[in-house]
Amino acid sequence: MMYGMASEQTRTTPHSSLRAPAEDEPRSRLAPRAWTSRLLVVGIVLAALNLRPAITSLGALLEEVRDGLGMSGSVAGLLTSVPPLCFAAFGVMAPRLARRFGPGAVVCAGMAAIAAGLLVRPYLGGAAGFLAASALALMGIAVSNVLMPVIVKRHFPDRVGSMTGLYSMALALGTSTAAAVTVPMTEALGGSWRTGLAVWAGLAAAAVLPWLPRVRDRGTEPGGGTTTGAARPAREPREHRAAPGPGERPTGQGPEARGARSPQRARVPRSSADEPAHDREDEPAHDHARGGRPPVAALRVTRSRTAWALAVFFGLQATAAYITMGWMPQIFRDAGVSASTAGVLLAVTMAMGVPLAFVIPRVATRLAHQGPIVVALGACGLVGYAGLYLAPAAGAWAWAVLLGIANCAFPLALTMVGMRARTGAGVAQLSAFAQCTGYLISIPGPLLVGVLYQHSGGWGLPLALMAALMVPQTVVGVLAGRNRTVEDEAGR
């Protein structure tokens, strides 16, 4: 009994009462952090929804736009080549912009650029103005393309596969929705293709809102870059950490901070795709000035064969995707399919990415080698292109489904970006290199299809080109799917 009384007194001493609020502080911060994490997920989904309507809405109305602006087939081919050109030109700027302003601020500005470009491009008059406004919207898409894998890796390091799947699924949903509803929505709004294209600016404007709280984020979470993933306990902001008491070491300077892991962190699996945030090498330079980890030298990605294979794979799958988004409705319309049905067929192709973009990344992260997935997607593409040549109208729905499966090489490429680097800094550099180089590779494809279509008068040669490109895409995809990281191959 005396022991119980002593224990009771101990619990009511001033020292214990002073310590209680500190122990409850993480619990008090839990709700704001959970709210912030959910808002970030909403922002990722809304951003992904806006990364393709600028392209697929144009594909559904390409014939009307050509007639309205007086475009030839070659100029229309140039128009369908503008997306990869802008992605290559502006995507390379994304890592530098993110270091200076923070990834959240850059994505927020990107969504605003998409909204502005989509709103004004139908009304500037002439092909040149249309191209310029399209470039503004595509600039916003380009920087967001590059930074999405970085944001997923940084904030959800233990859920790279599932979050990449969610992001890819939302991207596919936005792509297919724009393809399916643009034509009927244009008819419902009076029949003007200008209104049918401009209306998509509203979706981009809505996507700006959840990123506004991240505008002042300079690339790290409070406390030097910890994530909001559920499996990681969040660190306190440096300015809010309690000062060390007498005889105590400053936080993070003791041997336990340097060499030991907490039991909760130790239970999290370690893999190239799920690197814990506290092991990342993307700490900003200003942390070093405050006594943190010194900045790490830039990774020489160009020395990595895997990085090159991934870049070429990204470029060839982007070539197929932009040819499909830009020209597939016209292929069906030339075969006698109505404009609205051709738009729905494109929507079916894009909609295949909704379930598969969620499934494929989760399967890929469980495989040591992603080559079998690459081969399966390539086979679907070859069969789909052959069907478009032999029976474009009779088997239209089957070809649309098969080409939609083949287009799921995009979420697979994004997943491999996260798996082929161990650190957040490595993912950022690999993502920028693979996407910028890949989009440069993809620029001639849609333009060449337009030229071949205009000069041959049919779709035989363009479809032969598309099928031929599927072979090297499969080969380099198998090479990129090998279980290795760019850090090891680049040899710092």
Residue 218 is predicted with a pLDDT of 62
Residue 175 is predicted with a pLDDT of 85
Average pLDDT over residues 49-65: 88
Residue 431 is predicted with a pLDDT of 84
Out of 54-63, 81-90, 185-194, 466-475, give the one with best mean pLDDT.
Answer: 466-475
Average pLDDT over residues 254-264: 40
**Which has the higher per-residue pLDDT, 258 or 373?**
373
Question: pLDDT band for position 270 (50/70/90)?
Answer: very low
Residues in CB range of 446: below 8 A, 6 or more apart? 77, 80, 81, 84, 319, 322, 323, 326, 327
Q: Which residues in 418-454 are b (16+ Cβ under 10 Å) and which e?
A: bbbbbbbbbbbbbbbbbbbbbbbbbbebbbbbbbbbe
Q: Which of 53, 20, 98 is nearest to 346 (CA)?
A: 53
Q: Which of 175, 153, 176, 379 is nearest to 276 (CA)?
A: 153
The percentage of residues in the chain with a pLDDT greater than 90, rounded to a whole number, is 35
Q: Cβ atoms within 10 A of the Cβ of 31, count?
A: 9
Question: pLDDT band for position 343 (50/70/90)?
Answer: confident
Average pLDDT over residues 38-58: 92
Residue 299 is predicted with a pLDDT of 73
Residue 78 is predicted with a pLDDT of 78
Residues in CB range of 142: below 8 A, 6 or more apart? 86, 87, 88, 89, 90, 91, 94, 110, 439
* Residue recorded with tokens 């898409």: 141
**Which has the higher per-residue pLDDT, 361 or 248?**
361
Residue 480 is predicted with a pLDDT of 95
CB 69 within 8 A of CB 130: yes
CB 26 within 8 A of CB 109: no
Question: pLDDT band for position 297 (50/70/90)?
Answer: low
The percentage of residues in the chain with a pLDDT greater than 70, rounded to a whole number, is 76
CB 411 within 8 A of CB 356: yes
Tokens matching residue 216: 């002042």
CB 475 within 8 A of CB 410: no
CB 486 within 8 A of CB 310: no
Residue 463 is predicted with a pLDDT of 95
Residue 32 is predicted with a pLDDT of 54
Residue 438, CA distances (Å) to 175, 235, 319 in order: 20, 37, 9
Map residue 491 onto helix, strand or coil.
Answer: coil
Residues in CB range of 165: below 8 A, 6 or more apart? 357, 358, 359, 360, 361, 362, 411
Question: pLDDT band for position 153 (50/70/90)?
Answer: confident
Average pLDDT over residues 79-88: 82
Map residue 28 onto helix, strand or coil.
Answer: helix
How does pLDDT run across 234-245, given as a tens digit for each residue?
Answer: 343 343 444 444
- State the amino acid at position 399 in one-letter form: W
- State the amino acid at position 8 in one-letter form: E
* Residue recorded with tokens 């959240």: 104
**Which has the higher per-residue pLDDT, 297 or 51?**
51
Residue 436 is predicted with a pLDDT of 83
Tokens matching residue 149: 């894998």
Angstrom distance (rounded) from CA 474 to CA 480: 10
Q: Which of 7, 335, 363 is nearest to 164 (CA)?
A: 363
Tokens matching residue 89: 């030109």
Lowest mean pLDDT among 13-17, 115-119, 406-410, 478-482: 13-17
How does pLDDT run across 414-458, given as a tens digit for each residue?
Answer: 899 989 988 878 887 898 899 889 988 988 888 899 889 888 888
Angstrom distance (rounded) from CA 83 to CA 142: 9
Residue 16 is predicted with a pLDDT of 42
pLDDT at 372 over 60: yes
Average pLDDT over residues 135-140: 94
How does pLDDT run across 160-205, given as a tens digit for each residue?
Answer: 778 888 888 888 889 889 988 998 999 999 889 999 999 999 999 9
CB 175 within 8 A of CB 348: no
Angstrom distance (rounded) from CA 343 to CA 179: 5
Map residue 97 onto helix, strand or coil.
Answer: helix
Question: pLDDT band for position 148 (50/70/90)?
Answer: confident
Residue 207, CA distances (Å) to 48, 95, 122, 174 in order: 9, 21, 21, 12
Q: Which of 451, 458, 317, 465 is nearest to 392 (CA)?
A: 458
**Which has the higher per-residue pLDDT, 345 or 262?**
345
pLDDT at 290 over 80: no
Residue 289 is predicted with a pLDDT of 42
Residue 84 is predicted with a pLDDT of 84
Map residue 278 onto helix, strand or coil.
Answer: helix
Residue 241 is predicted with a pLDDT of 41
Average model confidence (pLDDT) across the chain = 78
Average pLDDT over residues 98-109: 91
Question: pLDDT band for position 355 (50/70/90)?
Answer: confident
Query: How long a stretch of residues is the chain?
Result: 492
Angstrom distance (rounded) from CA 375 to CA 5: 72
Residue 112 is predicted with a pLDDT of 96
pLDDT at 382 over 90: yes
The alpha carbon of residue 468 and the mean position of all alpha carbons in its chain are separated, in whole angstroms, by: 27
**Which has the higher per-residue pLDDT, 173 or 125?**
173
Average pLDDT over residues 52-74: 84
CB 137 within 8 A of CB 178: no
pLDDT at 95 over 70: yes
